[in-house]
Amino acid sequence: MDLSVAPKNIRINQIGYSEGLPVHAAVTAGGPFRLEDESGRIIRSYEAAPAGVDPASGEPVRLLDLGILPRGAYWLRSENEQRRITVSPRPWREVTNALIKGLYFQRCGCDLLPVHAGPYAHSACHTAPAADWLERTVMRRVKGGWHDAGDYGKYVVPGAVAAAHLLYAWLLFPEGCADPLNIPETGNGVPDILNEARYELEWLLQMQRADGAFYHKLTKARFAPFIMPEEDLQPEYLMPVSHCATGDACACLALASRVFRSFDMDFADEMLQAALRAWNWLLENPDFIPFRNPEDVHTGLYGDGSDSDERFWAACELFAATGRPEFLSSAETLFRAGQDLNVFGWNNVGGLGAICCLFVLKEKAGDLLYAALKQAFLRQSEEALALSARSGYGTALSPDRYSWGSILPILSNAMAMILNSLLTGREDMRTAALLQWHYALGMNALDCCFVTGFGEKTVRFPHHRPSGADGIDDPVPGLISGGPNNCHCYPATREKLGESTPPARYFLEETFSADTNEIAVYWNSPAVFVGAFFNSLPSPVSPNL
Ligand SMILES: [Zn+2]
């Protein structure tokens, strides 16, 4: 994408729109606008109207509600601009599939073969045994897992959360994410979204220490330069264990044990036993110690100020997996202590515990963890709707919260609103969730589709080592960029964009800019959840205009 080319004043979901769902476009200048069908017949007209300045983008933005349109192609036109809008059944299947397949491209420790990876094939990487950082004579061979992001590290906290997003996408919306993806396991009788999750789950199992705790991460001491992964031969280390890694792995493996029980009983049992050992370690180590990078280690931190939410999620999942009352009791105690139920990112997993209570356990969770938790969840998820309503684009993010990976809170809020709509049937929640999906796919201040390989104006230079090192013009497809960040950005980014660039435009389409244009497995995964939901909605009978 060439950001020096002025964005168009009409911003749309560049992949298209779904029949049966409301169609929105954002306009930043000009008017009047008219919506025409392909033969030029005017369907609707929109007068030029003054628009308030959107605080995040600094632009005068109006959100045009084009209504529910029959399948077909349309033009949204003003006097000097036009944009083609397509409406079709299930328009987002391909991008959702690509977002899952994007995780396949992050696989470590195996050959990516041309038959699955096309021009992005490469040989196996990071296959040497790793040393325990604290006890260098202890060597372990840990295979597999996903490279976390633009770097080649593998981290338990975000990896467990990303796998859980896939598992819940499958549990809640199986018809929206069940397509074959041309990965090595395709055709083995297990849906490919679960095959892909299993690649990470098998790695997670190897990250457990004999006493039940989980190593926080498997990385080198420093990030690799921009080389292909198989050329990255510096030694990897098992970094010290942490409470949050142990809690997240415990929860994710307990969840996965339920999901895989009907496919592979032995694998399910192995994961449940690992989760129970992790829980026992948490019981024996009640005092939270935040993870800190050892001296001389400069890879990702994934630090956290509390493990209350990880323990809460783990207790919920263990109760769902075993039915043992002590887990319900622990989950109740942790819920009473206060949980954020409407967030689904790596540093706060309270929302994943809430999904377990509201959609898996339901009445079995009891009055506190079902009825009371539901009321609290519905109340908290109103915040996402209020944020969306205050934004010109309908983007559910406060202007002062465009931080590293701003796509995550936006998609997390979409998840909260989707879940609210499932519980209440509220269309306003579902429509606002859809606006977040439109944001990701192009209806934003940058006129940019954030998923590589998709859209008319899309990310071409993500901070992603293989994309930068493989000699191929196009980046690895199906990876979602973190997007604008003016809270924690590099001095070089600040120098280029200055103080006056609005937060939603604080973005550099440049490989070096990890702060605005990195990719990460745990940004792909909530996008998969959101895409799977919208793919799963029944096809309506098209209205006649
Ligand atoms: Zn690797």
> Does residue 358 come out as left (phi exceeding 0), alpha (psi in the -120 to 50 range) or beta?
alpha
Q: Characterize the bridge pairing of strands 82-88 and 17-18.
A: parallel
Q: Locate all alpha helices (DSSP H) within 179-242, ordered by sequence.
A: 192-206
- pLDDT tier, 2 (very low <50, low <70, confident <90, very high otherwise): low
Distance 437 CA to ligand 1 centre (A): 30
The pLDDT tens digits of the residues spanning 418-453 come to 999 999 999 999 999 999 999 999 999 999 999 999
Distance 444 CA to ligand 1 centre (A): 34
User: What pLDDT score does 4 carry?
Assistant: 53
SS (H, E, C) 159-178: HHHHHHHHHHHHHHCHHHCC
Positive or negative: CA dihedral 115, 119, 120, 121: positive
The pLDDT tens digits of the residues spanning 457-466 come to 999 999 999 9
Distance 452 CA to ligand 1 centre (A): 21
SS (H, E, C) 266-281: HHHHHHHHHHHHHHHH
Of the candidate ranges 3-7, 397-401, 537-541, the one whose mean pLDDT is the lowest? 3-7
The pLDDT tens digits of the residues spanning 77-117 come to 998 899 999 999 999 999 999 999 999 999 999 999 999 99
Distance 454 CA to ligand 1 centre (A): 26
What does the buried/exposed string (b/e) look like for 450-468 if buried means 16 or more CB atoms within 10 Å of the residue's CB? bbbbbbebbbbbbbbbbbb
447 φ, ψ (degrees, to nearest 5): 55, 45
Q: Measured between alpha carbons, how far apart are the two ends of the chain, in Å?
A: 36
| Per-residue CA distances from 202 to 271, 274, 279, 313, 543 (Å) | 9, 11, 18, 20, 48
For residue 340, give the nearest of 325, 352, 356 by alpha carbon: 352
Distance 111 CA to ligand 1 centre (A): 10
User: What pLDDT score does 80 carry?
Assistant: 86
Distance 201 CA to ligand 1 centre (A): 16
Label residue 230 exposed, middle or buried (CB < 10 Å: 0-12, 13-18, 19+): middle
244 three-state secondary structure: helix
For residue 334, give the nearest of 421, 253, 251, 271 by alpha carbon: 251
| pTM above threshold 0.85 | yes
Enter the DSSP assignment of 148: -
The pLDDT tens digits of the residues spanning 336-364 come to 999 999 999 999 999 999 999 999 999 99
The pLDDT tens digits of the residues spanning 233-245 come to 999 999 999 999 9
Rounded to 10°, the helix 156-172/93-104 angle is 150
User: Does residue 120 surpass a pLDDT of 80?
Assistant: yes
User: What pLDDT score does 6 carry?
Assistant: 63
User: Does residue 475 surpass a pLDDT of 70?
Assistant: yes
User: What pLDDT score does 1 carry?
Assistant: 59
Which two tokens mark 191?
Answer: 């849906």
- The dihedral over CA atoms of 353, 359, 525, 268, expressed in degrees to the nearest 10, equals 80
For residue 343, give the nearest of 334, 355, 329, 325 by alpha carbon: 355
